Amino acid sequence: MTGLTASSLSAAGVKAAPLLTAQGVTIRFGGVTAVKNINLSVRPGEILGLIGPNGAGKTTLFNGLTGFVRLSEGRVTLAGRDITHLQPQARSRLGMARTFQVERPFEDLSVLENVLVAAFLRHRGRAAEDHAYAVLERVGLADRAAQPAAELNLARRRRLELAKALALEPRLLFLDESIAGLNPPAQQEMVALIRELAQSGLGIVMVEHIMHVIMTLSDHVICMAFGELLAEGTPAAVAAHPDVIRAYLGDDHD
């Protein structure tokens, strides 16, 4: 089933030590196993794409890796340190950042204030405000800085999610469907931004349903179905894998 693992290893070659590793991650809710024995690793500057049909367990895996859901089994390390039992807030301080699939802005706060909350993790006072504003400029939301976050449309909410994550100045970024639902020009901008972030040394794990996006951006792809690993390897190898075509592309063409 996982015949692509060898080629992926050689593709990764002898690069920097992994930023994130997950070993045997299993997450059960009562009797339901949402994630089963997943292994992965991400190096600085690397983009790991995570695909799979609806309900495959991608978001649950994210929640497990970022500390929002307790692992039933398995182990997670960040830069060599075991973080399996750390709270999400402690992981953020160590350099993990995530976006939420269903965006969740602080609705009573302005766009700038939303990002400021995150900027306070590493900055104080005016420096935090300056940093928050700079991040807004980077994601193209600076003109909305004073607007209440509740009034943003979907595309801008997605950017706000990203802005908040980036304001934490992370080493590792989890993006849960940041691109789906955007119009094509906005998609292009987001793709360019993500590529730029990886080039600056960030490790990125991204979930995305839009195949051509995941295929152009990812260095390595993991395909899940029913919580289990279906295939992994280079984007081209995974896209050509018969199980993937059957399970994923078969019912969810793009």
Partner 1 sequence: MTTAATLPRPRALTFGNLWLSGALLLVMALYPLVFGKAMNFGVSTLIFAGLAMSWNILGGWAGQTSLGHAALLGIGAYTMTLLATPERLPAFLPAPLAPWWGALIGMVVAVALAAVWGGLTFRLRGSYFTLSTIAVALVLRLVAINSEWTGSSEGLFMPELPTLFGLDLFDRKVEYGLAFAFVLLTLVVTHLIRRSRLGYGLQAVREDEDGARALGIDPTRMKLIAFMISAALTALGGSIYAIYLQAFEPHTLLELPISVQIALMAIIGGRTSIQGPLIGALLLSIFGEVFRTVFSNANLLIYGVLILVVTIYAPNGLMGLFRRGGLKLGVNR
Ligand X SMILES: Nc1ncnc2c1ncn2[C@@H]1O[C@H](COP(=O)(O)OP(=O)(O)OP(=O)(O)O)[C@@H](O)[C@H]1O
Q: Which residues bind Mg ion (CB under 5 A)?
A: 58-59, 101
Q: Is 15 in the site for ligand X (CB under 6 A)?
A: no
Give least dist CB 62 to ligand X, A. 8
Q: Binding ligand X by CB under 6 A: which of 3, 5, 29, 82?
A: 29
Taking the least distance from each CB to partner 1, the nearer of 66 and 187 is 66
Helix (H, G, I), strand (E, B) or coil at 17: coil
Q: Binding partner 1 by CB under 8 A: which of 46, 56, 71, 100?
A: 100
Q: Is 168 in the site for ligand X (CB under 6 A)?
A: no
Taking the least distance from each CB to ligand X, the nearer of 7 and 87 is 87
Q: Which stretch binds partner 1 (CB under 8 A): 3-11, 20-28, 128-136, 237-245?
A: 128-136
b/e map of 166-202 (b: 16 or more CB within 10 Å)?
A: bbbbbbbbbbbbbbeebeeebbebbbebbeebbeeeb
Q: Is 134 in the site for partner 1 (CB under 8 A)?
A: no
Q: Binding ligand X by CB under 6 A: which of 59, 99, 114, 218?
A: 59
Q: What would the two tokens of residue 60 be?
A: 């649950």
Q: Binding partner 1 by CB under 8 A: which of 12, 68, 79, 193?
A: 68
Location of structure tokens 């449309």: 153
Q: Is 87 in the site for partner 1 (CB under 8 A)?
A: yes
DSSP secondary structure letters along 64-97: HHHTSS--SEEEEEETTEE-TT--HHHHHHTTEE
Report which secondary-structure segment, H or E, holds 16.
Answer: none
Give CA–CA dist 175/168, Å, rounded.
14
Give least dist CB 179 to partner 1, A. 19
Q: Which stretch binds partner 1 (CB under 8 A): 37-45, 122-130, 196-204, 234-242?
A: 122-130
Q: Is 88 in the site for partner 1 (CB under 8 A)?
A: yes
Q: Which stretch binds partner 1 (CB under 8 A): 9-17, 28-36, 74-82, 104-112?
A: 104-112
Of 63, 57, 59, nearest in space to 224 by CA: 57
Q: Which positions ≥6 away from 227 have C-beta within 8 Å?
A: 27, 33, 34, 35, 36, 56, 57, 60
Residue type, 7: S
Q: Is 126 in the site for partner 1 (CB under 8 A)?
A: yes
Q: Binding partner 1 by CB under 8 A: which of 113, 189, 228, 243?
A: 113
Taking CB under 8 A as the criterion, which residues in 153-172 touch partner 1? 164-165, 168
- Whether 57 and 27 have beta carbons less than 8 Å apart is answered as yes
Give CA–CA dist 241/235, Å, rounded.
10
Q: What is the CA radius of gyration of the chain?
A: 18
Residues that bind ligand X (CB under 6 A): 29, 32, 34, 52, 54-60, 101
